[in-house]
Amino acid sequence: MTATYEIITVRPLSGAIGAELSGVDASRDLSKQTVAEVRQALLAYNVVFLRDQDLTSEHFLRFAGLLGEPIEYPLLEGLPGFPMITPVVKREDERVNFGGVWHTDTSYQPTPPMATLLLAREVPPVGGDTLFANQYLAYETLSDGMKAMLGELTAVSSSKKADGSATREDRVRESGRAGAPDEISSEHPVVRTHPETGRKALYVNIAHTVRFAGMTEGESAPLLGYLYAQSVRPEFTCRFSWGVGSIAIWDNRCTQHNPINDYHGYLRVMHRITLRGDRPA
């Protein structure tokens, strides 16, 4: 993870994944060098964090556009006037949070997003942290025999899988996109090669992966269960505590994340932008 940065400062958050960046004001026009260094840090650490960013929706969308092409979330409406920005909200009276399980964002799409940006608008006084896990390490620490077997497999992901959909159903009923399909399903390799780094990463997750292609769910379950546990071993993770104005940017091609649901009775409001990706290979 050694790299040279001339403009930004990078402070690793753990030994496996994640770094906090300073020297970036996302509300301003950023130089090409600054943007290049942010992307360099993202590729090196899988997820990077900015703190104390005072952003309007225009600022947030412009900043995201420097890193990639913002796209709409397939199931929910965005903010009025900003369809690319999806509100992610847990209200004081709710007990279940949105996406509260380990996952890679919308891996059920034919071309899942390259990256996600999440901006904290309102956070609880304590709790509501997010965990991130390095999927390069999840793959690289497997045995050679397991790697060889997984390299031949593809997996089916679905937007209707119970582990992922339970936290979305209320939101879809309240603010679902008009004309959104009832189910989105795709097949992707179990091991994908990152198009920029060339490294291989494990690419299954408990929220969306249903089974291996050509196998039943029952036949797939034992091996998938092992891979789900392998994906999120503690030594592959970092934990981020949010403050208002914090931004997390994670690379969906090699990262899983899990928002911790430990702040009942408090409002948590986040704004989310995803960036266009390519078909996993």
Tell me if residue 59 is catalytic. no
**Angle (nearest 5°) at CA 246 between 71 and 201:** 55
257 catalytic, yes or no?
A: yes
pLDDT for res 15: 97
Give the domain ranges of the chain: 9-275
State residue 162's pLDDT score.
58
The SS3 of residue 21 is strand
pLDDT at 170: 46
Q: Which of 39, 192, 268, 272 is catalytic?
A: 272
Helices (H), the chain: 32-45, 57-67, 135-140, 144-150, 162-165, 169-175, 217-231
pLDDT of residue 160: 87
Active site residue 208: no
> 39, 105, 251, 268: which is the annotated catalytic residue?
105
pLDDT tens digit at each of 281 positions of the chain: 457 899 999 999 999 999 999 999 999 999 999 999 999 999 999 999 999 999 999 999 999 999 999 999 887 889 999 999 999 999 999 999 988 999 999 999 999 999 999 999 999 999 999 999 999 999 999 999 999 999 999 999 999 885 554 454 444 444 445 555 678 999 999 999 999 999 999 999 999 999 999 999 999 999 999 999 999 999 999 999 999 999 999 999 999 999 999 999 999 999 999 999 999 99
Q: What is the pLDDT of residue 139?
A: 98
Residue 169: what pLDDT? 44
State the pLDDT at residue 164: 56
> Whose CA is closest to 109, among 74, 138, 85?
74
The CA distance from 200 to 233, in Å, is 17
The residue from 188, 253, 257, 271 that is catalytic is 257
Give me the pLDDT at residue 181, please.
Answer: 66
Confidence (pLDDT) at 74: 83
Judge: domain 9-275, CATH 3.40.50.11030.
no
User: What residues pair up with 116 in beta bridges, in sequence order?
Assistant: 250, 274
Report the pLDDT value the prediction gives residue 183, as an integer from 0 to 100: 87
